[in-house]
């Protein structure tokens, strides 16, 4: 019952954060108090909503959300997230500086086609290259070093005459 109420509160908060500024973005007037309130609490509300989703999925209260987030489709993208985080600003700067005219808003479709999609595609392409050339070789070297260290510790335990401390009687 409590998990259901928290799901409702999290979804309602997330939709509120997304939908409340619709009027303001379309030319509506907000008083300074309304703007200050929204900009003060919207990030907190969004963070709490996302935090609940993460907590609920981790603790088994996710249901369909857990099944969706556990699909095999997310595994390759999940492994590229850190590399994409590292290179996304370089890619965004490159894509947005390709044009000869200044950047201005022409509509949602134009923003997606000429801004978000190319940046997203190139970011993950460069993240794949970074992962293949830097992250995976470093992870293999790290695994070899730690496996050797673990094997040496195992040999040292076998050679010592003292019984290990974790023997159960």
Under the banding of pLDDT at 50, 70 and 90, the label for residue 157 is: low
**To 5 degrees, how large is the angle CA 143–CA 128–CA 145?**
10
b/e per residue 40-61 (b: at least 16 CB within 10 A): eebeebeebbeebbeebbeeeb
Which one is predicted more confidently, 130 or 76? 130
Q: What is the distance between the alpha carbons of residues 79 and 87, in angstroms, rounded to a whole number?
A: 14
Which range (8-12, 92-96, 157-161) has the least confidence? 157-161
Q: Tens digits of per-residue pLDDT, 134-148?
A: 988 998 998 888 887
Q: Residue 107 has what pLDDT?
A: 75
Answer whether 159's CB lies under 8 Å from 120's CB. no
Q: Write out pLDDT tens, residues 28-75.
A: 899 999 999 999 999 999 999 999 999 999 998 989 999 998 899 888
Compute and round to an integer the Cα radius of gyration of the chain.
Answer: 25
* DSSP code at position 161: S
8 Å CB contact between 60 and 66:
yes
Task: Read off the pLDDT of residues 74-112 as tens digits, 9 standing for 90 and up.
Answer: 888 888 999 999 999 999 999 888 877 777 777 777 777
């Amino acid at each position: 019952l409590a998990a259901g109420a928290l799901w409702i509160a999290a979804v309602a908060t997330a939709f509120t954060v997304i939908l409340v500024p619709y009027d303001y973005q379309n030319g509506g007037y907000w008083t300074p108090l309304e703007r200050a309130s929204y900009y003060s609490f919207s990030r907190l509300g969004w963070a709490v909503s996302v935090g609940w989703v993460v907590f609920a999925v981790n603790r088994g209260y996710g249901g369909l959300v857990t099944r969706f987030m556990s699909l095999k489709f997310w595994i390759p993208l999940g492994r590229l997230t850190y590399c994409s985080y590292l290179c996304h600003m370089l890619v965004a700067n490159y894509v947005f500086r390709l044009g000869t005219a200044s950047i201005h808003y022409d509509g949602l479709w134009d923003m997606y086609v000429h801004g978000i999609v190319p940046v997203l595609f190139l970011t993950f392409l460069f993240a794949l290259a970074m992962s293949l050339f830097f992250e995976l070789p470093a992870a293999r070297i790290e695994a070899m070093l730690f496996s050797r260290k673990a094997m040496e510790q195992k040999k040292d335990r076998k050679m010592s005459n003292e019984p290990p401390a974790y023997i159960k009687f």
